[in-house]
């Protein structure tokens, strides 16, 4: 059984690599799902069970959209006021693309108050961004950049990078915006996995290790920076290949074991999880179908920006 992650990337710039036939596909988000809970990966990728819109996730998408569009403005116009003015139009655009987001808040006074608080927090995150760096002094090389490469093993790695900066020296900085708070020191490695994943892809595409990985936490205004080296990225390659082998074994055996954690309280699938007395649906029968070039060009973007 071959599983692909379907979705839309309309309007995204794509960088790819060829030469090796892809036999599987993995993004940082889906790799994170499997590391968090193999059963969660199954529900999202194999069963494709819809999940309810989350106010936190929607706010993250909105803030990301504002910061992306901010750099469409002339350098001198990239002000706090201009960024805040983008919130309304970007929210309208998201509602048009995903009408189900309109159900995030109930009708009536209570729902309206909740929506106002949600929007106020989005404003604070946008304002906080300006305390971390000055966008008038930056000119990103790429924003919302879709990248992909195929490892020698046949595993296709792909994902979206929030921002790529290139210095006059050619040094590359990968930037990712997070609308949650910075993790404790013992969770930093997990947070950096996504960034090393992207760095691995760019290293294979460009032949140069990115100089800096930068996570910007807009929830509390902290910045996590890391300078990777080739040993880091080789270790990341081994990790993603080991993850894919574990996923393939689960596909072959049908054993998708749940892994409980504090995140279970926010999981849409808790009611169908055996760890909480639920019963997963029968595994779907999925025929082996090789993806067409068009399928490979419409790779998914699934965010975990919280």
Mean pLDDT value across residues 182-187: 79
Asked whether residue 286 falls in the same domain as residue 201, the answer is yes
Query: In terms of pLDDT, which residue wins out, 18 or 170?
Result: 170
Asked whether residue 274 falls in the same domain as residue 162, the answer is yes
Asked whether residue 43 falls in the same domain as residue 165, the answer is yes
Asked whether residue 231 falls in the same domain as residue 249, the answer is yes
Asked whether residue 81 falls in the same domain as residue 187, the answer is no
Q: How many CB atoms lie within 10 A of CB 46?
A: 19
pLDDT digit string, tens, across residues 65-96: 999 999 999 999 999 999 999 999 999 999 99
DSSP H or E stretch at residue 50 = none
Domain-ending residue, one of 137, 159, 180: 137
Quick check: is 257 in a domain?
A: yes
**Domain that residue 116 falls in:** 55-137
Asked whether residue 175 falls in the same domain as residue 252, the answer is yes
pLDDT confidence of residue 215: 97
CA–CA distance, 34 with 243 (Å, rounded to integer): 8
Quick check: is 89 in a domain?
A: yes
pLDDT digit string, tens, across residues 15-39: 445 566 778 899 999 999 999 999 9
pTM of the model: 0.85
Q: Which of 88-97, 154-163, 240-249, 294-303 has the lowest mean pLDDT?
A: 294-303
CA–CA distance, 22 with 161 (Å, rounded to integer): 21
Asked whether residue 100 falls in the same domain as residue 145, the answer is no
Asked whether residue 169 falls in the same domain as residue 231, the answer is yes
CA–CA distance, 305 with 29 (Å, rounded to integer): 10
- Backbone φ and ψ for 214, nearest 5 degrees, come out as -130, 115
pLDDT confidence of residue 19: 62
Query: In terms of pLDDT, which residue wins out, 211 or 297?
Result: 211
CATH number of the domain at 24, please.
3.90.320
pLDDT digit string, tens, across residues 281-293: 999 875 544 444 4
pLDDT confidence of residue 204: 96
Contact 201, 148 (CB under 8 A): yes
Mean pLDDT value across residues 42-67: 94
pLDDT digit string, tens, across residues 120-156: 999 999 999 999 999 999 999 999 999 999 999 999 9
**Which 3 state secondary structure label does DSSP give 156?**
strand
Asked whether residue 23 falls in the same domain as residue 67, the answer is no
Question: What percent of the chain is modeled with pLDDT above 90?
Answer: 75
Asked whether residue 290 falls in the same domain as residue 159, the answer is yes
Quick check: is 3 in a domain?
A: no
Domain-ending residue, one of 137, 161, 196: 137
Asked whether residue 101 falls in the same domain as residue 66, the answer is yes
Quick check: is 1 in a domain?
A: no
* CA distances in angstroms from 18 to 3, 26, 149, 152, 299, listed in the order given: 20, 16, 7, 11, 15
pLDDT confidence of residue 2: 28
Contact 302, 296 (CB under 8 A): no
pLDDT confidence of residue 226: 96
CA–CA distance, 202 with 15 (Å, rounded to integer): 9
Asked whether residue 35 falls in the same domain as residue 63, the answer is no
pLDDT confidence of residue 187: 76
CA–CA distance, 306 with 259 (Å, rounded to integer): 20
CA–CA distance, 260 with 244 (Å, rounded to integer): 21
Number of domains in the chain: 2
Domain-ending residue, one of 86, 108, 137: 137
């Amino acid at each position: 059984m071959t599983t692909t992650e379907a979705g839309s990337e309309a309007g995204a710039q794509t960088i790819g690599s060829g030469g090796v036939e892809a036999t599987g596909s993995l993004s940082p988000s889906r790799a994170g799902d499997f590391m968090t809970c193999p059963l969660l990966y199954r529900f999202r990728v194999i069963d494709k069970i819809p999940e309810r819109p989350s106010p936190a996730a929607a706010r993250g998408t909105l803030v990301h959209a504002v910061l992306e569009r901010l750099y469409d403005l002339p350098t001198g116009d990239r002000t706090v006021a201009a960024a805040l003015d983008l919130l309304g139009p970007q929210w309208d655009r998201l509602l048009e693309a995903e009408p189900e987001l309109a159900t995030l808040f109930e009708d009536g006074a209570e729902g309206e108050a909740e929506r106002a608080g949600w929007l106020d927090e989005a404003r604070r995150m946008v304002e906080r961004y300006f305390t971390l760096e000055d966008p008038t002094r930056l000119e990103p090389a790429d924003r919302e950049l879709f990248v992909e490469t195929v490892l020698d093993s046949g595993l296709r790695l792909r994902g979206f990078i929030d921002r790529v900066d290139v210095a006059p020296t050619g040094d590359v900085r990968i930037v990712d915006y997070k609308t949650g708070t910075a993790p404790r020191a013992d969770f930093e490695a997990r947070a950096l996995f996504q960034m090393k994943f992207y760095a691995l892809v760019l290293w294979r595409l460009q032949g140069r290790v990115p100089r800096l990985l930068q996570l910007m936490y807009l929830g509390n205004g902290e910045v996590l920076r890391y300078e990777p080296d080739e040993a880091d990225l080789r270790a990341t390659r081994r990790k993603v290949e080991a993850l894919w082998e574990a996923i393939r074994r689960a596909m072959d055996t049908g054993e998708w074991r749940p892994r409980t954690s504090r995140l279970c309280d926010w999981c849409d699938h808790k009611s169908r999880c055996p760890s909480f007395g639920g019963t997963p649906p029968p595994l779907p029968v999925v025929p082996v179908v090789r993806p067409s070039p068009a399928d490979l060009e419409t790779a998914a973007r699934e965010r975990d920006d919280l």
